[in-house]
Structures are given as C-alpha cells and as structure tokens.
A = this chain, B = another copy of it.
Amino acid sequence: MARVVVDVMLKPEILDPQGQAVQRALPRLGFDGIAIAEVRQGKRFELEVDGPVDDAALTRIQELADTFLANTVIEDFTVKVEPS
C-alpha cells in the first residue's frame, strides 16, 4: 500500500479570498509577532493505492488529477509519492 498525494492550489495569478481571510485574521488573533506576507489555501488529496506505484499508475493518477481533482483553468496541481 503506497500513498500518493495530490496538492491542488489556485494559480498564483488567481485571487484567493480564503487565504486572504486567513491572513487578515492573524493580527486580530494575536499572531502579529511573525510577518506572514501571504496565505494561500488549497486542497490536499491522499490516495491510498493498492500495489506498487509504477510509472503507469502515476500517469493514470496525473490524468485523474488533471481531469477531475483540479480545475486546470484556475488551479495547478502536483503529484507526489509519499515514502511509506
């Protein structure tokens, strides 16, 4: 059993109101000691794959992320195999 992680984030040029809301809330919550210039919020998918994650499986997962998990008009994604 291997774990493949797909991270989906809004493209840098797309406005991220959720991230902005988090960032603006920081001083109000007392987190004004560290200078956080930007916060962006995205999605993380953890896929538990039965069997080995070979190139064919990774290609399928790339397709899956590209067509289904991410909206590639506004989002970028990365696929990573996590060491188990």
Contacts and interface: CB of A to CB of B under 8 A. Distances in A.
Interface residues of A, number: 37
A45 B39 contact: yes
Q: Is the interface of A mostly helix, strand, loop or mixed?
A: mixed
B45 A40 contact: yes
A41 to B, nearest CB: 5
A64 interface: yes
A74 interface: no
Contacts of A68: 22, 25, 29, 31
Given A9-B46, A22-B45, A31-B64, 6 more contacts: A29-B67, A31-B60, A34-B51, A36-B48, A36-B49, A41-B44
